[in-house]
Amino acid sequence: MEYVKDKIVFITGASAGIGKACAEIFAENGAKLSLSARRIEKVENLAAELKEKFGAESYVFKMDVTDRNDVEEKINALPEEWKAIDILINNAGMGRGLNKLYEDNVDGWEEMIDTNVKGLLYVTRNIVPGMAERESGHVINIGSIAGREAYAGGGVYCATKHAVNAITKSLRMDVLDKGIRVSAVDPGMVETEFSVVRFYGDEEKAKSVYNGLTPLTGTDIAEAVLFCATRPKHANINEMIIMPSVQANAFMTYRKT
């Protein structure tokens, strides 16, 4: 087992949900955290909490992954002691709507593609060269069951996560000779702010997604990410698919009403 103590872990989308849970579990295990999101105050509060609880050191900054210049500038401007990133967790992502493709809101498509695909690419493009130079590093992409299967009303979200799956596989080949590992963690339903964002702030509709079933928590996924990050150097977890016990695939769940 490899330990993450004192390793620099760079997490996008650390203000909520899975990203926040990853920050917590890595802090508990002694890692140094480089944390970002757009809602900087939430990330600052989290960093303060993790300092208090685990003595964790964090570097916190505001970054919008959809803004190519912002990503480049923020990563270039990392203080010297935060530059040698050991583990990149590409987590920032979102869904918008659950509508028939031919009736769907095109603005939502732009947001999903810009965040889930282009955002992940910008961050990866700016961090992996340093890992390649040091011949060391681990990229862990948070994909989704939506990257493995398509479901009705999820055409564009599923397309973005299928893209993440393809990027993960290609990147693994591209860095094979560089001592860098690449893993995908692909969850089913996780109760986070995801559905609230998907339904544009409609809390009631978001809640109803989890009616009659026990979804995964951010911590369930963070534990899987930590497992990937703690394998011995010669072993890589290529992919993990984690589902609630009552979800068989992307579109079939068992609900007790």
Ligand X SMILES: NC(=O)c1ccc[n+]([C@@H]2O[C@H](COP(=O)([O-])OP(=O)(O)OC[C@H]3O[C@@H](n4cnc5c(N)ncnc54)[C@H](OP(=O)(O)O)[C@@H]3O)[C@@H](O)[C@H]2O)c1
Show which residues are catalytic: 157, 161
Q: Give the nearest distance from C-beta 17 to ligand X in angstroms.
A: 2
Q: Give the nearest distance from C-beta 193 to ligand X in angstroms.
A: 3
Q: Give the nearest distance from C-beta 19 to ligand X in angstroms.
A: 5
Q: Give the nearest distance from C-beta 117 to ligand X in angstroms.
A: 11
**65 with 117: CB under 8 angstroms?**
no
Strands 180-187 and 239-242: parallel
Q: Which residues bind ligand X (CB under 6 A)?
A: 12-19, 37-39, 63-66, 91-94, 115, 119, 142, 144, 187, 189-190, 192-194, 197, 218
Q: Give the nearest distance from C-beta 1 to ligand X in angstroms.
A: 25
Q: How far apart are the first and last CA of the chain?
A: 43
35 vs 56, beta carbon nearer ligand X = 35
113 vs 132, beta carbon nearer ligand X = 113
233 vs 255, beta carbon nearer ligand X = 255
HEC string of the chain equals CCCCCCCEEEEECCCCHHHHHHHHHHHHCCCEEEEEECCHHHHHHHHHHHHHHHCCCEEEEECCCCCHHHHHHHHHCCCHHHCCCCEEEECCCCCCCCCCHHHCCHHHHHHHHHHHHHHHHHHHHHHHHHHHHHCCEEEEEECCHHHCCCCCCCHHHHHHHHHHHHHHHHHHHHCCCCCEEEEEEEECCECCCHHHHHCCCCHHHHHHCCCCCCCECHHHHHHHHHHHHCCCCCCCCCEEEECCCCECCCCCECCCC
73 vs 133, beta carbon nearer ligand X = 73
15 vs 126, beta carbon nearer ligand X = 15
